[in-house]
Structure formats: structure tokens, C-alpha cells
A and B are shown apart, each in its own frame.
Chain A
Amino acid sequence: MNVITDKLQVEDNKWIGTRTVRPDGADKVTGRAAYAADNTMPGMIWGKVLRSPHAHARILSIDTSKAEALPGVKAVVTAKDIVEFPLDKSVMLGIQDMRWMCRNVMAREKALFHGHPVAAVAAINEEVAAAACALIEVQYEPLPHVIEIEDAIRPDAPILHDFLKFQDKPSNISATMTAKLGDVEAGFAQADVVIERTFRTRPVHQGYIEPQACTVSYAADGRATIWSSSQGQFMVRAMTSLLTGVPQSHIKAIPAEIGGGFGAKTIIYLEPLALILSKKSGRPVKMVMSRDEVMRATGPTSGSFSTVKIGAKKDGTIVAAQGTFYIQAGCLPGGPLRGPVGCAFAPYDIPHVLSVGYEVVSNRSKVAAYRAPGAPLGAYAAECVLDEIAEKLGMDRLEIRLKNSAKPGTKAAYGATFGKVTFEETIEAVQNHEHTKAPLDRNPRPGVKRGRGVASGFWYNAGGESSAQLNISEDGNVLVTTGHPDVGGSRASIANVTAELLGIDHGRVSVQIGDTASIGFSNLTGGSRVTFASAMVVTQSAEKVIGQLKERAAKIWKIDPEAVTWENGEARPAGPNAGQFPPLSLKELAAKANEMGGPIGAGVQLNTTGADPGFATHVVDVEVDVDLGIVRVLRYTAAQDVGRALHPSYVEGQIQGGVVQGIGWALSEEYLYDKQGRLDNAGFLDYRMPVCSDVPMIEPLMLEIPNPKHPQGVRGVGEAPIVPPLAAIANAVYDALGTRFYSLPMSPPKILEGLDAAG
């Protein structure tokens, strides 16, 4: 459903806001789309990674001689081939510290998790490469390992990194973050009701279908070409350059069609290994992870252990909120602390807030970004406690949110003072929706109970660097090039914007993703930034092109360019000259381009700003089989301020996708480790992501409240929808059963145990 609040500019739109055929659709449904693993080259050989069999071990020696002697083996790499970034000096690339990245792509002093790369081999085929890996002799000194947060922060825990100190002692706490507002103690003193609860969540994987894959060709002239699946070809170029020492200018990174990323492909694993293997062997090297490797050694996002305390007055006014969030970083520092610390209480106007986060390392794969990184962890705890506050006060659960919602001028604990805030609109949209008003049959059958829950969520959104180039072809059509991989429909959205601005048929616009040598720097696809930022640079490029077109027409007509307008895809004389000349279409101007000054085209590069935060409020109905402990989601409605839906199908898809991932997080997904610290469910069979039949049709309520800081009113939409589901479902399960669950996933055994404990 579309809820359009601002009619301005919208009714006249011919392409923006319509469900045009997606430019990548035909290739994807016919199997022609070229994903990273589809690339092949003459002379290409295969790379494979040898991974640590221990969760934690000192690497005493690595002998690769037998592997190198195996016929068919062309190259072997170990950590000594990767650029080392010393531990005492941070080198940042975006939010990634290369000290950790260089140790993540290849174990250096120690193997830090089961599956940590120790060496890599390139050989004439996959079988020989695998056989060569088995011939590499690594001497390990196994060390005690630690997996869970609570074990890792105990005083006697095995320490992963001697260089990490917390309160002057060696520790597995690798970072802290605080967001503070007012004085929480004073705030709690004013409260009539205070509730404090502790919550646990498990690490969950991004679950993209396409495993990481790349082909790298390092040529005799010292220049390298990388074909890979990532969320940023410029990120791939920069990180590979840093880790291999090959200058950025000598690397061309070509983005493949991407089969899902959800944040996890904002870092690299294989590219530097493949580049060095290619350099050593003189052959193009292809590497493709297996699903097992993807699950074991990439992503996931953090598990958490959080305590949230909220105090409110009898009338429902929240006076203080406190959160302590322990989150997993995996085996090396760098976890999404700003997610829970900054977002947990951000939807609300609370005078006293103290939010403290601790990042904990343990012998798991290093976490990677996952859709609103960390924010669902904080919202889970905060929105569940808020549900209990509302219950204790006898208040409606949406009403308490509305009463406390952030307003223009509200200062958030993380530092921002909000301008336009559109949180209330999301709550009201849910309040007014038929779903919220529909009666709930609480006991439809013996042994079955139903409940309804709500929760809200906040995500920062982002702008950042983007580039675009818009060229008019000789036949008068349009080619737009942008610089970030399309994971959420940016090409379709950009095609709509371009057709709208130029006033031409959508079918005349082609949009492509440029490689690092053909378009200006563009930051990676993440932070819900790409449609926002690329629409901005494309708009400015289109305006420049329209300016050129008007100048050409003016020249032809020998009138002042100011006296030309661009309407419906053609230049028209205006003002005193109106009607004097027949209009000149884009096709006609393109045909005359060379005689009138040369090719027509323009590009814009910007560091975009004005990406205001996103708010979401969700309502969900669940059904619990109380004898088997199975929770099923029956109905789900998700309201979100989407700014302007340039391509509504994609916006709906983002909301639905975020919710489905949240459902998996809440009910069935978790990383399970055995006693030796090995991941026990490294595959889609036992790592239980929801399948189609597990989820109902998720109804997105797109609130189109234009972002005043964007030419089309766009607001990032991809991440906010994964923030509320964890709490919304937990609150619905409570509503059904009368028992609260403080730990995810709410799997069947856990539900039965909880019901037993409650009697």
C-alpha cells in the first residue's frame, strides 16, 4: 500500500513511482546474468584455501614444499606474502582497520577460529588444488578457545590477543562505546515504574545465496584485473591494494552481478589471495568459496548479551533509559557497537539516557556488516522492555510509543539533534491499519495460541561519495553509469529518475554499473545509501545534460539559451520566441551533436549529505503450537517512512526482505558450535533460514514523506525494516503465551522449556 502525504510533484510523474521492468530482470530469470563465479578466462587456474582445523592455535611453522612439488600446482601463498600491518598502528579504510583485515584474510601469528585461512594454493584444477592443500604441513600449538560472550569476559578466559587491554588488564573486550544524555540516576529517581531485563541473541549469518567468488588476472606489466562479487568495486580495489602492495592505479576491479550481500560483501576475503597467486603463477586465478566456507569463515553478525532498564512515569512518560550491550566481534576487533548503542533508544524523546557497548573477541569468524549492523540487537532489548512498561502501566503499546516519540529538535543520545522526524507517522499508520484493529482469535484450536506484538526501530541511513556519468548516444538514447553494485534496485530506480528528468520513454534509458577504471570513485553499497546518493548525482548530471541540450537548441535557433525550455524530451523556444521554431527532440539534437559542438554528456561526483534517519513500526500476529513449541508468523504489517519510492516494487522488496531476515533471527537462525569450537551447522540445511512457506505475505506500508534534502525526496529504506522484527515477534509470543522469552532464537525446544518453567 502506498500512503502518499505530499501530492506535490508526484501526480505529474510519469516514471518515478512506477513499477517499470527491472533492467537486470531478463538476464536473471534466464540464467544469463554473470555472477562472479561465472567468469572464466583462457589459461585460468583454480585457487583453494587451507583452513585451520583448530579454534585457537599458535602457528609454529608452515611447510609448503610438498604442495609446491605436486604436479599441477602453480603457486602457494601464506601470511608472509600478505602486507603486514603492525599491531601498534591503526590504518583505516572506511570502518575497516587493516591491522585486523590482514590477519583475517590469512592467519598470521595465530589461527583464531576453526576455518581461519592459513595458506592458499593455485593449481590446474580444483582437485589438484585441494590435494595440494592437504600436503601443506602446518605445525600448530593448540590453545584453549572461547566462543560465547559470557565465557570470553570471565577473568580466567583464554585471551585471544595479548595487545588488547581493558582497564589495564589483558582482556577480550576490544572496544567500548558510550552514548549519554542527562543523568540516568536522576532520571530513574523520577520514575514510577522501572523495569530491567537481560537478553541474549545468537550470531546470525547474512545468508546471501551467492558465495564469495573472484577471478584475478595479474599481467606481466604489473597491472591486475579483478572480477568479483562485492558491495563495492572501489572497496575491493582499495583493500586489495593495501593487502598486496599493488597500487590502486594498477588495479581494475570489475563488479560482477551480485547474488546478495546484506552488508557481508563490504569486506574482502579472496581477492588479495587470488591476486598474489596470479602474480606468482602468471595465470588468471579463480577462487569460489563453498557454502561451508561461507558459513564458517565469512560474516556473520554479532551475537549479544544485553541489559536494558527503562523508567517511566505513571502517565507513560519515559524519564530514563539505560542499556549495556555486549556484542561479539568475532576473532578480531571491529564489531557494530554503534548499532545497539546509538539506535536502541533513538526513536524516543528521553531526557536521561546511558547506553554503553562492549565489543568482545572470541574464537569465531570475524563479524561482517549485516543490514543495520547491530541495531536489531539494541531494539530487541529496548522494545521488549518498553512492552513490559506499557503492560505494567496498563497503556496501549502503540500509544506509549506515540507519547514518547522523538520530535523535531529532539536530541538523540548518539549526538544528533533531529530535524524532520517521521516516527509518529509510522506508529499512526499501524494504529490506523486494519491489521491492528482486526480481532485476534486467541485459541483457534486446542493446543494453539495466538498473540499480537508491536515494535519500532531506527536506522541512521547514510550519504557519502557517489559518481555518475550520463551520456547521450548518437541515436539519441541515454546511458547512465554509476559506481556501486546494485543490490536493492538502484539501476531500476535510476532508470526511472533519468527518464523522468529527461522526459523520455523509460525504454530509452540504460543503466550500468561501471568498473573502477570507467567511473569516478563511489563508496560501497551500504548504509541504505545507494539509491539516495546515486539519484542525487544522476539528477545533477541530467540537469547538466539538459543545460547542454538547451544550449545546442539555442545555437541552432540562434537565440539565447535562457530562452529555451526542456519539456517532454524536447527543447522548445520560450519567452518572446515561443512557438517561433518547431521543437527539437533529444534524437534530433543527438543527430546534430557533432556539428554543434561535440558529444553530449556530463558527470557529477559528490560527497552526498542529507540522508536523514529511517523509522519503522511493525505489527505481527503469531501462532504457537504449545505441544511442539513451534511459532509461526501468521500476519505481518510493516510501516516505514520511505521518503519517495522511486520504484515501489523494490521498496516493498526491501521492507519484506528485512522483515523475513528478522523473522529468521527471532525464531530459527543461530550459529551452533561443538565442544572443540567448530561450527556445527555450516550449511542451509541446519542453519535454518526461513523458507517461503515459513512466512506470510508481508504487507509493507510505504509512507511517502519526501525527504526535503533530496531532489526526489528519497530516504534510505533497506536497513530499518530488519530492526523491529525481533522485538515485535518476542512481544507477540508473550501476548500468545503469557510467558516472556529473553533469548533468541525462540526455537521449539526453548519455547517448551519456557512453558514448563512457567508451569
Chain B
Amino acid sequence: MTDVRYLAPRTLEEAVSAFAAAQGAARILAGGTDLLVQMRNGILKPGVIVDIKKIAEMTEIADLPDGGFRIGAAVSGAAMAEHPRFGKAWPGVLEAVNLIGSKQVQGRCSPGGNLCHGSPAADSVPAMVAAGAVVTLQGPQGRREIPVEQVPAGPGRTTLAPGEILVSFTLTARPAGAGDAYLRMIPRTEMDIAVVGCGVNLTMQGGIVTAARVALGAVAPTVRLVEDAGKALLGTRLEDAALEAAAAACRAACKPIDDKRGTIAYRTRVAGVLLKRTAAVAAQRAQGN
């Protein structure tokens, strides 16, 4: 009764044209760890599925000439973990991506899918935002680049234009003294969804923070870049007062809901706790580099 057309184009151009032609009836398939679950639960009934895993650009991790990385949107969490250099440069991004699902899910799930699924609780997104990742999009109107934090629009929604496909994430080369980290609060030890997630990316020179970005997940309709928290850390040695100021900024940035996964009061409070813990891990990594 419900026919689904499955396409597996070899080029991005074909993918974009098929995706755009379906006019909203199509869904992009990367790992499928969200899409297939939604289809099985009857939440989604796409008429067309465009599998992007046959497109080289979307499944590779490219080393950029400046020392940065470009990660295809459909690269699996396991492939990112196996890359010889990526995790050394961006341990926080990697640990966040590797928290998606379970060991089995890691073989399939991708940072692109995690971002485009639009969950405020997506683990990889706060880490990508803290890292200052830039995403490349391609649609019927051509190619463009935007900061990753501009992608989420609300639960289950993105700012991508009709027919537009997320192609890759670009992460810059790391200066000396840089380190990032991601921590989340879940009631269990694994197989759970973040009640709060926190990504912190620091650059430190002589024990002083020279650059800081902080992002929070699961505390608002979208993952949030908390600029005030970054500012509170900038120029400090991460003294208690600086961490408390950043924690306060995180709490102030929270606009959570009460739901089965956590209360407003709990999420707000935990955002501050996680900021301190995540910053400590990021600082340790920054100073170890």
C-alpha cells in the first residue's frame, strides 16, 4: 500500500536534483539510524529515499592543506573514531559523535544525520558548535557555507532550504594550546538521550584562556551557542569565579521544557555543573597539547 522509491545516486548533483524533484516527499538516508526508526514507528512515510552513501565527498574525511578537516555528512561515527589524526585534533567532537546510539549504531550513524534530524538533544551538535564547525550545503541554487549553529531551527526542523543537502563539516586546523570536550548528563551510563549536553572548546596560552566557545544541548528548542559563557572564560585562568560566571551564563541561556527526560529546574542546574566539568576536561587537553 505504501511504495517507497529508493535512490542511490553517485554524484551530489544527481542527489540534489532527485531530492528537490520530490518536493518534500523525499528523505535523505545517511546511516538511517533515525530515519528507519521513524519509518518503523509510522512517524514518517517518505515517498522517496535518497541514499547519499554512494557519493564519495559525503563519506570521506579529507585533510585540508591548512591542517583542518572536512568530514562528509554521511561519515560514520566508527570511521571518525578510526581516523588516525582527527581524534587527536578534535577529541571533544569525536567523543560527542561516538556517544550517538550504541556500539552497533556507531557503524552507521553520522554527524550529518545527527544534525539534520534536528533534535535539541543531539550529542554531536553542541561539540560541533563549540568547535566552530562550518557546514557546506548544496541545493538547487548551488553551494553555500554557514556556521553549524545556524542549521537547527527547532525540534525536528532545520534552516536548510527546500532541496538542499548537507554535504560536509569543516573544522579548522588547531593552534597550539587548543582542546575541546563534550559531556552529557544521562541517568543511565549509556543507551540514553542527553538530559543536558555541553561542549567546550578552549585555546590557552600560558594558562590563560585566549579563545573559548561553549554550546549546550537539550536545554532549549535548539542547541545553543552560549556566547556569554565563552566571554566569561576569556582572559581567565579558569579560576572558580570565572567558571561560576560561565556556569551562570549557561543557566541563563537555558530555556528548557519539563518532560519525561528532565525538569526545567534540573536541566538548568545541571547546565552549570556540566559547564564546569567540561571546561576542566577541555583545559586539561588544551594544556596537554
Contact = CB atoms under 8 A, between A and B. Distances in A.
Interface of A: 127-128, 131, 627-630, 632, 668, 672, 680-681, 685-686, 688, 690-691, 693-694, 747-749, 752
A693 B192 CA distance: 12
Interface residues of B, number: 20
Q: Nearest 8 pairs between A and B by C-beta?
A: A749-B266, A693-B189, A627-B273, A691-B191, A680-B260, A672-B260, A681-B260, A127-B1
Nearest to A695: B189
Contact of B187 (A127, A688, A752): A688
28 contacts: A127-B1, A128-B1, A628-B270, A628-B273, A629-B266, A630-B187, A632-B189, A668-B188, A672-B260, A685-B193, A686-B193, A688-B187, A688-B188, A690-B188, A691-B188, A691-B189, A691-B190, A691-B191, A693-B188, A693-B190, A694-B188, A748-B185, A748-B187, A748-B195, A748-B266, A749-B263, A749-B266, A752-B266
B157 interface: no
Interface in B250-289: 260-263, 265-266, 269-270, 273
Nearest to B261: A686
B2 interface: yes
Given A630-B187, A668-B187, A686-B261, A752 B269 contact: yes
Nearest to B40: A290
A402 to B, nearest CB: 35
Scoring B188, B189, B265 by chain A CB atoms within 10 A of each residue's CB, the highest score goes to: B188
Interface in B179-207: 185, 187-193, 195
Interface of A is mostly: loop
Nearest to B189: A693
A733 to B, nearest CB: 15
Contacts of B265: 749
Interface of B is mostly: loop
Contact of B192 (A131, A672, A680, A685): A685
A680 B263 CA distance: 14
Contact of B2 (A127, A629, A630, A691): A127
Contacts of A694: 188-189
Nearest to A72: B1
Contacts of B190: 691, 693
A681 B261 CA distance: 9
A460 B262 CA distance: 39
Contacts of B266: 629, 748-749, 752
Contacts of A628: 185, 270, 273
A686 B263 CA distance: 14
Interface string B2-39: 10000000000000000000000000000000000000
Given A693-B189, A748-B266, A686 B260 contact: yes
Nearest to B267: A749
Contacts of B195: 748
Contacts of B189: 632, 691, 693-694
Contacts of B188: 668, 688, 690-691, 693-694
A688 B261 CA distance: 10
A229 to B, nearest CB: 21
A131 B2 CA distance: 11
Contacts of B270: 628
Nearest to A667: B187
Contacts of A672: 260
A668 B262 CA distance: 12
A131 B266 CA distance: 42
A681 B259 CA distance: 10
Select the residue from A693, A749, A752 with max chain B CB neighbours within 10 A: A749
Nearest to A291: B41
B53 to A, nearest CB: 25
A694 B195 CA distance: 17
Contacts of A686: 193, 260-261
B129 to A, nearest CB: 22
A68 B165 CA distance: 44
B262 A749 contact: yes
A680 B261 CA distance: 10
B260 A747 contact: no
A138 to B, nearest CB: 20
Contacts of A627: 273
A408 to B, nearest CB: 44
> Which of A628, A632, A685, A688: most chain B CB closer than 10 A?
A628
